[in-house]
Amino acid sequence: MTSLLCFVAISDSVVGTPIESELKLGKQLFAKGKGIDRTEKDSRIVIGQWFDGERNQNVEEVVFVTPGLLSRWLGYQLAAGTSQEVVNATWEKCAGQFTGKTFAVVRLARLCTVDMIDGDVDNSAKPEALDKIKIEMHQVDKPWTPVDYHVVQDIQQRRPDEVLKDTWDQVLAKFTAWPSKPTENDLMPEIRWGLNRRVSLIAETTKFEPGSKCEIKILEKDRTRVIPFHYPKS
């Protein structure tokens, strides 16, 4: 059994136009044939893995959606053929929605273990542990700050891979102008199947200084985790 975390935040220092150096980096990544996920750079922090029966997947992660990440993302799409007009409009819509706040998408999951020989999935996950979640964050040497949130996606299925299909940006695109194709999954299905569950939350939290040492505390029904990280520099 493992648990999945994806934390997405936008800083309250959103600038009026994309950051030129980061926009250029996004273009360069496309020119080199790299995947768009490479635009995440230091905004993505892998904090855990899950064995899918064949290999380890990086399933526990923290992704901060800073102005730098948005600039790199749009630079990549500009190089891929998106018009400058669309890029400018997307920046204005997306960045404008996060002005004055630190915005977050928190994704938590409980996943069953997959047998590496026959691919059978056991029943070790505890989906009920995600019924009650508490999250706190702080910059090191400063007080912990509670994180307020509301659930925006809750998927429960028989197999782990069925709850891992959506990426963080697809969920974010459901609620903002984030430049990705939104997920086609039902966000809050009425019927639940199996023991594998992933919950996505939209939260608003405190501001962090670029490059600062921070920690996030996740309290679930059966455990508490404290995860250190460095906030992205851009």
pLDDT, tens only, 56-73: 888 777 778 888 899 999
Q: Show the DSSP H helices in 10-49 as ranges.
A: 20-31
Q: How confident is the model at residue 231 (pLDDT cuts 50, 70, 90)?
A: confident
Domain boundary assignment for the chain: 2-14+42-63+99-230
Q: How many CB atoms lie within 10 A of CB 52?
A: 18
Q: Strand order in 224-230's β-sheet?
A: 145-146, 134-139, 213-219, 224-230
Angle 202-43-127 from CA coordinates, rounded to 5°: 45
Q: How many CB atoms lie within 10 A of CB 158?
A: 12
The pLDDT value recorded for residue 75 is 96
Q: How confident is the model at residue 141 (pLDDT cuts 50, 70, 90)?
A: very high
The pTM for the full model equals 0.82
The pLDDT value recorded for residue 132 is 92
pLDDT digits (tens, 9 = 90+) for 149-185: 888 899 999 888 888 999 888 988 888 889 999 998 8
The pLDDT value recorded for residue 4 is 52
pLDDT digits (tens, 9 = 90+) for 29-56: 999 999 999 999 988 888 777 788 788 8
